[in-house]
Chain A
């Protein structure tokens, strides 16, 4: 079995505890060296607003600038470091769909733990979907199938992608989404919105605004990287 990221052979050892645990054997998809290069965020000390990795659980300077009274917070799993940047480059921009398997398990476990009533994913524009062929977020969840299409992108020509903008331009981005769900499907629900990266928080907060206005009880963001 080759590591998906560095193409080196992975040697899996069968230990006695594993044998006795009677659990199925899951083939590793990345080697230990590559996996260690991703930095997991400690949930207990992370920023309660955006999920940024910190030493004390205090609202970070970025979050203090957002209006605070909203029942929204974000949970991030990994720090956006060089390894993560390289991963997204290969997965999203080069379109190597096999790499979804690297974070499949982690993402699904985290989603399960959040235990929301309704799960929505941030959509990509139809033209991106056509050229990329997949939605990077739904790739991590159940092989990209059977996702409720709750959020849709507005039929607006996408100019510059978010990843090419500086902070100020990103913050000025207008609402890009609309809801394709009836109000009673949202009313009083705890909604989980999933995206790939939380950078300024603009995208996922747009989605949260939309949901809260339609009567959602709370919105939790779940992103792979922060």
Chain B
């Protein structure tokens, strides 16, 4: 194994595998056993002794098992990050930022320079990635090690070519669970947040995209991983359109700086959520009928040929909804998509190509996809499966094109659940900020484009 492969990493190896390592490696205990408390030093999980036991008083960590088993039979091996980068990559991106984007990019860069922890709250469709370029250019020029991590593989796969295009002469490592390519030591790393568990004090600049997405939001181990992967005096930037209560609490406590970008690139406000109470929507659909209001709306779509997404809480409900629509309005052409659907990508592509008018889907299409000029209907929006973040993201699918910057976001729910209230409040808040920003803006800047 090359020495550089251990720079800033913590690899879990058995003593036999570690025998070939260079002499100056640091060895860290993999699992700390002190009395009844057993903690995995890689993911920070406190382990239940009964679950974690192996024969002969050995223990293993079941929480981060899919990264290779960490146990009392193995240790973590680490070499401190030396920032050994011969090259100084330059930014080759030619695009223009809007005035607000430029202000935000400036803030991002300053926070990198001062090694601050920073939350950038930018609405869905604001052009977040481009705003990172000035800051990243600065960091790469200084020879700092940078990483961009996201909870979702799709986001990583989408970001990698965009960053490679922006920094042509930079070496970029793309790490995720399904990538068979071996690890390379690069100045810029793009990875899923799970992969951060393999790093220790590695990054001077660490950016977490879509912090609110599953599984990051619900997983304290990944917060541990972030704090472990960034250098003790490194800069940390969270990017999100829907910050969680926990992040906002950190902002209020002063642990995290915050900046907003409440306007989309086309300078329009986010569409507001319209909620209609429909207590027995599922019983009606199970009978093979559509709730009246929904049928009228869909009939209107049939006439206008307006394209739309229809969200349901559970995969099992997809077929019933599809059947009910087919029965009531046979002329509407649509498909169902869910996470384990083998034709998932093909179906989404059909929607992109405008070959079908609508998709019925679950939360998998809540983020990361853009169908220009669509409407969105959510059935059972008060279901606990839809978190506030998910609802805001779903609402954010609408109005993403310059041609049709508004649209309908319609929730059919059995109750005014707290998640819906919070989602409405978040959108109202950013819209208020956006309106203020737009009013204060010189008239010229609305013309220049993305």
Tell me the A residues contacting B by CB distance below 8 Å: 94-98, 127, 130-131, 133-135, 138, 143-145
CA A145 to CA B14, docked complex, whole Å: 24
Is B2 part of the binding interface, using a Cβ–Cβ cutoff of 8 Å? no
A98 CB contacts on chain B under 8 angstroms: 51, 62
B side interface size, CB within 8 A: 15
Q: Are B73 and A134 in contact (CB under 8 A)?
A: no
Stretch at the interface among B64-72, B255-263, B282-290: B64-72
B51 CB contacts on chain A under 8 angstroms: 98
B65 CB contacts on chain A under 8 angstroms: 94-96
Least CB distance from A28 to B in Å reads: 16
Q: Which label, helix, strand, loop or mixed, suits the secondary structure of the B interface?
A: mixed
Our pick among B14, B60, B66 for the contact of A97 (Cβ within 8 Å) is B60
Contact with A along B113-147 (1 / 0, CB 8 A): 00000000000000000000000000000000000
Q: Are A95 and B71 in contact (CB under 8 A)?
A: yes
Q: Chain B residue with minimal CB distance to A96?
A: B65
Our pick among A94, A135, A143 for the contact of B69 (Cβ within 8 Å) is A94
Q: Chain A residue with minimal CB distance to B54?
A: A133
CA A96 to CA B54, docked complex, whole Å: 9
CA A134 to CA B56, docked complex, whole Å: 9
Is B16 part of the binding interface, using a Cβ–Cβ cutoff of 8 Å? yes
A135 CB contacts on chain B under 8 angstroms: 55
Least CB distance from B255 to A in Å reads: 32
Our pick among A94, A127, A134 for the contact of B55 (Cβ within 8 Å) is A134
Q: Are B58 and A133 in contact (CB under 8 A)?
A: yes
CA A42 to CA B65, docked complex, whole Å: 34
Could you give 15 example pairs across A and B, Cβ below 8 Å?
A94-B65, A94-B66, A95-B60, A95-B69, A96-B62, A96-B65, A97-B60, A98-B51, A130-B73, A131-B14, A133-B54, A133-B55, A133-B56, A134-B54, A145-B55
B14 CB contacts on chain A under 8 angstroms: 130-131
| Known contacts A95-B60, A97-B60: A131-B73 contact under CB 8 Å | yes
CA A86 to CA B16, docked complex, whole Å: 27
> Which residues of chain B (25-78) have a CB below 8 Å from chain A?
51, 53-56, 58, 60, 62, 65-66, 69, 71, 73
| Residue from B53, B55, B73 with most neighbouring chain A CB atoms (10 Å) | B55
> Which residues of chain B (205-239) have a CB below 8 Å from chain A?
none
Q: Chain A residue with minimal CB distance to B51?
A: A98
Least CB distance from B320 to A in Å reads: 20
Least CB distance from A120 to B in Å reads: 18
A134 CB contacts on chain B under 8 angstroms: 54-55
| Residue from A130, A133, A134, A144 with most neighbouring chain B CB atoms (10 Å) | A133
A95 CB contacts on chain B under 8 angstroms: 60, 65, 69, 71
Least CB distance from B86 to A in Å reads: 38
Q: Chain A residue with minimal CB distance to B71?
A: A133
B16 CB contacts on chain A under 8 angstroms: 127, 131
Least CB distance from A90 to B in Å reads: 8
A94 CB contacts on chain B under 8 angstroms: 65-66, 69
B54 CB contacts on chain A under 8 angstroms: 97, 133-134
Least CB distance from B292 to A in Å reads: 34
Least CB distance from A223 to B in Å reads: 21
Q: Chain A residue with minimal CB distance to B58?
A: A133
Known: A131-B14, A131-B73. 20 other contacts (CB 8 A): A94-B66, A95-B69, A95-B71, A96-B62, A96-B65, A97-B53, A97-B54, A98-B51, A130-B14, A131-B16, A133-B55, A133-B56, A133-B58, A133-B60, A133-B71, A134-B55, A135-B55, A138-B55, A143-B55, A144-B55
Least CB distance from B29 to A in Å reads: 16
CA A127 to CA B14, docked complex, whole Å: 11
Least CB distance from B414 to A in Å reads: 22
CA A23 to CA B55, docked complex, whole Å: 30
CA A96 to CA B65, docked complex, whole Å: 7
> Which residues of chain B (364-418) have a CB below 8 Å from chain A?
none
> 5 shortest A-B CB distances, which residue pairs?
A133-B54, A95-B69, A144-B55, A131-B14, A134-B55
Least CB distance from B55 to A in Å reads: 5
